């Protein structure tokens, strides 16, 4: 196993630790207990960092001559082919067991994915992201609703953005599942709903030990009714390529394209220049939905606008603090 070397690989080591910190502290992923990340301790951070270092070196992902599109394909194939779904995690949802054992909570992290080789969709996404960010590729976790009547739980996927601005959706867990079942993965993704929420997902989880969340419950808990107007938005591109914005109602949200007949809120370009609208989206009880992978770049654009707004107004800034603990490395 390739070992971290603080002298020879100082830049890479720093990027790896920054990546681990930024992704595992993302509100979509972080599971807190007494103000600390419940899924990680210093030992796990170190083991995970060494594993990421090994993968990057073995696949030469730190080679600047390799295009980012190829690096993303390598990362996707690695996660897809070397990580398996933790089926025991689903047992409580299927009522095969009365509650989720505490020991199962760990199987929603990059550590469980890359070190133990078993995880849930959240771990697939977190693993994909720490590898991306370790080689300088920006990524974002978004939530989704899987197609099919019985696929009602929230699912994690990743949006990766190359330095040339190209955005692509990655979902190695579902891609592997579609391959096993001989499903058309592209058609499968085009049947999914994708969601961007400013709410901490782990604060909304239901079930014993806070595991899992039904789509309908997530949407209900992610927005509030205020003066008859829900903070729930659906954006889509029309046949002319223009983006239309809709305020959603309180009906069950399984396919937001049903709402395309509703009256537009306002032209998208104007909405994205209004500080009050961005403030609206940046609040802790707003949610944005698109249908199908072809429109996920809308979510990335809106998320960037929200990030810019928060940065400008000093919202959500946190101090990294003493995290690395790299003194133990050789």
Per-residue pLDDT tens over the stretch 157-210? 999 999 998 999 999 999 999 999 999 999 999 989 998 876 666 555 544 444
Task: State which H helix or E strand residue 281 sits in.
Answer: helix 275-282
Structure tokens at 235: 């954006």
pLDDT digits (tens, 9 = 90+) for 272-297: 888 888 888 887 677 888 999 989 99
Helix then strand then coil, in percent of the chain rounded to 5, is 45, 15, 40
- Asked if pLDDT for residue 90 goes beyond 70, the answer is no
pLDDT digits (tens, 9 = 90+) for 10-45: 899 999 999 999 999 888 888 777 877 888 888 999
| pLDDT given for residue 213 in this prediction | 67
Mean pLDDT across 240-264: 70
Residue 32: beta bridge partners? Answer: 37
Q: How confident is the model at residue 325 (pLDDT cuts 50, 70, 90)?
A: very low
Query: Model pTM?
Result: 0.86
| pLDDT given for residue 274 in this prediction | 87
| pLDDT given for residue 104 in this prediction | 75
DSSP structure class, residue 263? P
Separation in Å, CA 7 to CA 12, 13, 55, 256, 325: 10, 10, 19, 52, 16
Q: How confident is the model at residue 111 (pLDDT cuts 50, 70, 90)?
A: very high
Nearest to 154 by CA among 171, 140, 142: 142
Q: How confident is the model at residue 97 (pLDDT cuts 50, 70, 90)?
A: low
Q: How confident is the model at residue 264 (pLDDT cuts 50, 70, 90)?
A: low
Longest CA pairwise span in the chain (Å): 62
- Asked if pLDDT for residue 266 goes beyond 80, the answer is no
Q: What are phi and psi of 160, to 5 degrees?
A: -110, 135
CA atoms within 13 A on the CB side of 129: 29
- To 10 degrees, the CA torsion angle through 101, 50, 29, 292? -110
- Asked if pLDDT for residue 320 goes beyond 50, the answer is no
């Amino acid at each position: 196993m390739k070992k971290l070397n603080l002298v020879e690989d100082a830049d890479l080591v720093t990027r790896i630790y920054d990546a681990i910190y930024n992704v595992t502290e993302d509100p979509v992923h972080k599971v807190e207990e007494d103000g600390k990340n419940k899924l990680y301790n210093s030992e796990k951070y170190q083991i995970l960092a060494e594993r990421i270092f090994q993968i990057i070196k073995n696949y030469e992902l730190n080679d600047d001559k390799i295009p980012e599109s190829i690096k993303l394909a390598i990362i996707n194939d690695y996660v897809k082919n070397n990580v398996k779904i933790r089926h025991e995690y689903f047992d409580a949802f299927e009522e095969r067991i009365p509650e989720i054992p505490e020991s199962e909570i760990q199987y929603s992290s990059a550590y469980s994915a890359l070190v133990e080789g078993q995880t849930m969709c959240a771990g697939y996404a977190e693993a994909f992201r720490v590898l991306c960010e370790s080689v300088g590729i920006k990524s974002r976790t978004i939530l989704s609703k899987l197609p099919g009547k019985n696929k009602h739980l929230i699912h994690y996927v990743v949006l990766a953005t190359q330095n040339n601005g190209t955005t692509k959706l990655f979902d190695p867990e579902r891609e592997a599942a579609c391959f096993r079942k001989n499903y058309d993965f592209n058609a499968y993704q085009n049947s999914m709903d994708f969601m961007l929420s400013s709410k901490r997902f782990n604060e909304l989880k239901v079930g014993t030990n806070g595991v899992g969340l039904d789509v309908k419950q997530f949407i209900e808990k992610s927005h509030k009714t205020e003066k008859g107007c829900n903070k729930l938005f659906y954006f889509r591109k029309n046949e002319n390529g223009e983006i239309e914005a809709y305020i959603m109602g309180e009906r069950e949200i399984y396919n937001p394209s049903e709402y395309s007949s509703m009256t537009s809120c306002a032209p998208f370009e104007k909405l994205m220049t209004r500080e009050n609208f961005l403030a609206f989206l940046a609040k802790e009880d707003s949610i944005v939905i698109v249908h199908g992978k072809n429109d996920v770049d809308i979510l990335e654009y809106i998320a960037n606008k929200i990030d810019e707004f928060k940065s400008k107004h000093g919202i959500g800034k946190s101090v990294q603090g003493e995290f690395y603990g790299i003194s133990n490395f050789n």
